């Protein structure tokens, strides 16, 4: 499955935190050519937040064939599942389904620990957001499928953007 989904994914190491922050900055710059160019100016996650996530096994990376970090996935617990806090791939390594590889590796790891799904909120109208996540197995949620936690996440993560530009999605492990 590694070849099909962009190479190996694994838990992040402490020495990868600054590289993860670089990837977040680079991925943010992609928004310059989107309806939301100001996102390019957002600061990456703090080193302290990433270290805490890494300590709790909530930070995963995609690596190339030389074990160099090229993508990162940060999650937080949410009910009987996990919620994506941040998911980024270095633009130089985009198009190889690295995000899908991280999601599947995370799923294999946590499914055996009683967590059955991964949720996220994202932009509905950005090609590498909702349309991409749907292609790799996430399904959009609405109505009764939206838990109170997801409704709150949609509102909080909208960041001043219209809630209508955002969508909640779920991936079952």
Domain ranges of the chain: 9-172
29-78 pLDDT, tens digit per residue, is 999 999 999 999 999 999 999 999 999 999 999 999 999 999 999 999 99
Residue 158 confidence (pLDDT) above 70: no
Round the average pLDDT of the chain to a whole number and report it: 91
Q: How many C-beta neighbours within 10 Å does residue 137 have?
A: 15
- 9-172 has which CATH code? 3.40.630.30
Q: Is the pTM of this model over 0.95?
A: no
Separation between Cα atoms, residue 71 and residue 86, nearest integer Å: 11
Cβ of 139: how many Cβ atoms within 10 Å?
11
The three-state secondary structure class of 15 is: helix
pLDDT at 142: 87
Q: How confident is the model at residue 145 (pLDDT cuts 50, 70, 90)?
A: confident
pLDDT in tens, 81-101: 999 999 999 999 988 889 999
Spatial distance between the Cα atoms of 170 and 156, rounded to a whole number of angstroms: 18
């Amino acid at each position: 499955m590694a070849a099909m989904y962009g190479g190996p994914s694994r838990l992040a190491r402490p020495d990868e935190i600054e590289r993860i922050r670089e990837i977040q900055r680079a991925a943010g710059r992609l928004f310059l050519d989107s309806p939301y160019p100001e996102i390019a100016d957002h600061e990456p996650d703090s080193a302290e937040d990433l270290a805490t996530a890494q300590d709790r096994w909530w930070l995963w990376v995609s690596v190339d064939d030389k074990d160099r970090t090229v993508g990162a996935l940060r999650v937080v617990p949410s009910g009987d599942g996990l919620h994506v806090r941040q998911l980024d791939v270095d633009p130089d390594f985009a198009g190889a389904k690295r995000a899908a590889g991280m999601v599947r590796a995370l799923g294999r790891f946590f499914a055996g620990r009683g967590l059955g799904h991964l949720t996220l909120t994202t932009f509905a109208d950005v090609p590498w957001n909702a349309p991409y996540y749907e292609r790799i197995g996430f399904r959009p949620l609405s109505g009764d499928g939206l838990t109170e936690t997801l409704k709150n996440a949609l509102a909080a993560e909208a960041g001043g953007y219209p809630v209508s530009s955002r969508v909640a999605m779920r991936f079952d492990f």
